[in-house]
Structure formats: C-alpha cells, structure tokens
Amino acid sequence: MQEPDANEERVNAQARARSDGQAVYLRHAGAGLQFALTFLGLGLVGWWLDGRLGSEPWLLICGIALGAAGGMYSLAARLGALPGSKRRDPSQPPR
C-alpha cells in the first residue's frame, strides 16, 4: 500500500477545515433566520388579529414584542448563552 504524501494530507486537512467552517456558518445563519421569522410571524399574527378585532395597533405591538422576546430566547438557547445551558463546541452539530 502507498502512504499518502504530505501534499494530499494538507489538501484533506484544508477540505475538512472548510467543511467545518461552512457548518458553523450555516448553523448561525439558521439561528438568525429563525429569529427573524419568529419576530415577523408573531407580528403578522398581531396585525391580522388587529384587523379582525379592530384593536389597532395594540395586538401588532404585542405580537412584535412577543416575537422579539421569543426570538431572543431561542437565539440565546441555541448559542448556549442561557444559565444552565451547556456550551457546545461550535464544530459539533446541534442536538
């Protein structure tokens, strides 16, 4: 059997590092997208309820506030910033 040469090992190490970097990027992009969708989704629900109930703009404001709070909580939980949450190695996939 042939042993891999140093150049091939270096290329394999670079490919693994690039793959790990992309995984971290995608995980953080997903957290940002989840935050934005939570914020916008509850804002839209509040806006729709305001139109149905005629309570403008109070349910919209409540929906935006709840969306922001829920999005922040989700973001902090995902990044491991909450008390009692275990900080994960960023190269490991989420559970």
pLDDT digits 0-9 by tens, 33-65: 989 999 899 999 999 999 999 989 999 999 999
* pLDDT, position 84: 66
* pLDDT, position 48: 95
Q: How confident is the model at residue 30 (pLDDT cuts 50, 70, 90)?
A: confident
CA–CA gap between residue 26 and residue 17 (Å, rounded): 14
pTM of the full structure: 0.62
CA–CA gap between residue 1 and residue 83 (Å, rounded): 52
Q: In whole angstroms, how far apart are CA 75 and each of 20, 50, 72, 79?
A: 21, 28, 5, 6
